[in-house]
Amino acid sequence: MNLPPDNLQTAAEHQEKMISNDIKRNWPHHKLKVILSVFFVLLLPLLLIGTILGPKIVDTTKGLETRTFAQAADPAVVGQWSEVKNFPIKATHTHLLPNGKVLFSPSFKGGGEPHLWDPATDIVEQAPNAGWNIFCAGHTLTADGKLFIAGGHVVTPVGLPHASLYDPTTNSWNRVPDMNDARWYPTTTMLNNGDILTISGTIERGVQNEIPQVFDVSENNWRTLTTAKLKTSLYPMMYQITANKVFMAGNQKASRFLDITGTGKWLNIINSNFGTRSAGTSVMYEDGKIMIAGGGTPTESVEIINIKTSSPKWTYAAPMPVKRRHANSTLLPTGEVLITGGTQGDNDQANMAVKKADVWNPVTNKWTRLSANTVYRGYHSTALLLPDGRVLTAGGEKSGESYEIFSPPYLFKGGRPSITNAPTQVEYNKTFTVETPNAANISAVRWIRLGSVTHSFNQSQRINTLTFTKKTNALEIKSTANALITPPGHYMLFILNKKNVPSVAKIIKVGNIDSPLPNPPLPALTPIPEAQTQANYEADMNILNHEDHADH
């Protein structure tokens, strides 16, 4: 429409008024258009750029692990790792002591330099020298809380015949008589009477110490099982079952029972399904029930057995989410089994590291993927449950002196119950009182034996679930029936609330057995110098490869 000049302003005002009225009548539609316009013009390009260049969430249940995340996951679901810190030495052998401190020692030529770490203060100090290189020794906590060490290292795979008791109350070592011969990579097992079975280990290259021995703590001498001669795997996974029988669960395909009475003898064989699991891991997750996992070529497979049935048999459980070799298995206060570290490679391959932790629930036979740590934990790494419910992971031949601490999901699910008073020692088949202001909300009570771990196997940890009765601000707890169910020694006692959140543990001695020190004491030894670190590491890999391909 053509308007005369005098009417131009009037027309403009009229058009503006029409548009204004239209916007008012159709404001919801205009508002939507404005929002969409802003989205497509400004936000969509940013989202596209983020998609192309930004971090991604990757399904790590297939293939190799990755450390890329779009956002921090809920620690109440996947747990949380601490920052990476460093010890003065590598933690290749790691032990929790009754005073709450952790004794640890490194690999190869550093094996004569143990250190002490206090998790409560984060203070590290050097411990006394044992008198020889205790790298590649076997070890367990004794019935009265000392640390028993057997064997050691000259050069790969030459062992030592020495044995000693470390007393944390005096911070000192006390030699006991030497074994029948040298042992490199032996396993030690606490027995129900306080004695300690020691088995396997090499004397020198190609020569294994095939004769088991039992250290009699009351007599301070060795009983040699001369009629139980057998070439086993190195660091075999051993568990006592009856007063006279100890079960070898791995690493060989042929698991079997060792009768330790008299001069000893090997009994019936129970073959596992997968076969040899060199660099695998194992735990007894309930009385008589044993798990073996990973190892070998490697594998994600898991097998379980109940050796207290009339006809025990290995059966497959749910497999781990990923293959693992050189992993560690740790019993948790919840009754679950935590698996950390390892590699999907055939050897100690850091470029195929498994950094996500996994936890297995024995009741449901299901695995849950947890958060990933930072540093590769492979060969010579360790994992140890601490009294506050966290898990120390440390060492690894390719990881230097670093360590990390994992806080499982249960530490992020609300307030923790507390133990205000508990006995320092309890006897078997007795009721004892634990004071707690949270008694009405307690759903479970468990204790876990102090750990002593190296080379993917904790030679000391055991777990029991205890029955209890609730009282006012207290629990009346029934201890286990005997030392076959609960090997004598010190345990972390946890109480758990209805959300499955554990207390900080009280460390309690179970049983009343002491291991007297030698009198008179044996003379100290002069440490053996050794400097072939890299050559020894490569030799270790060759020995493990040989075990992988040997169907024992």
| 3-class SS string, 193-235 | CCCEEEECCEEECCEECCCCEEEECCCCEEEECCCCCCCCCCC
- Dihedral (Cα; 183, 187, 190, 193), 10-degree rounding: -50
Query: The sheet that has 328-331: what strands, in order across it?
Result: 328-331, 337-340, 356-361, 366-372
Name the amino acid, one letter, at 552: H
The reported pLDDT for the residue numbered 68 is: 34
Q: Which residues contact 47 (CB under 8 A, 6 or more apart)?
A: none
The reported pLDDT for the residue numbered 65 is: 38
Q: Which of 428, 416, 430, 224 lies closest to 333 in space, CA to CA?
A: 416
Question: Which superfamily, per CATH, for 77-412?
Answer: Galactose oxidase/kelch, beta-propeller (2.130.10.80)
Q: Measure the CA–CA gap between 112 and 352, rounded to whole angstroms.
A: 31
* pTM of the model as a whole: 0.86
Which three-class secondary structure state does DSSP give residue 480? coil
Cα-to-chain-centroid distance, residue 487? 19
| Domain boundaries along the sequence of the chain | 77-412, 425-510
The reported pLDDT for the residue numbered 548 is: 59
The reported pLDDT for the residue numbered 535 is: 61
Q: Measure the CA–CA gap between 152 and 430, rounded to whole angstroms.
A: 40
Distances (CA, A) of 472 to 292, 304, 415, 422, 447: 42, 40, 20, 15, 22
The reported pLDDT for the residue numbered 522 is: 81
- Dihedral (Cα; 333, 339, 341, 343), 10-degree rounding: 170
Architecture of domain 425-510: Sandwich (2.60)
- Dihedral (Cα; 387, 389, 390, 395), 10-degree rounding: 50
Task: Say if CB 89 and CB 105 are below 8 A apart.
Answer: yes
Name the amino acid, one letter, at 64: L
Q: Which residues contact 168 (CB under 8 A, 6 or more apart)?
A: 97, 98, 99, 101, 103, 145, 146, 147
Task: Say if CB 386 and CB 494 are below 8 A apart.
Answer: no
The reported pLDDT for the residue numbered 527 is: 59
Side-chain-side CA neighbours of 324 within 13 Å: the count stands at 32
User: 483 is written with which tokens?
Assistant: 């030392």
Which three-class secondary structure state does DSSP give residue 172? strand
Which helix (H) or strand (E) is 535 found in, with range?
A: helix 533-548
Distances (CA, A) of 187 to 132, 182, 222, 330: 18, 13, 15, 17
Residue with tokens 């959300």: 499
Mean pLDDT by 10 residues, the chain (552 residues): 35 37 41 41 40 34 36 87 98 98 94 94 96 96 98 95 96 95 98 98 97 96 98 97 97 97 97 97 98 97 97 98 98 98 96 98 98 98 98 96 98 98 98 98 98 98 98 98 98 98 98 84 66 64 66 45
Q: Measure the CA–CA gap between 450 and 140, rounded to whole angstroms.
A: 9
Instruction: Report which DSSP code applies to 183.
Output: B
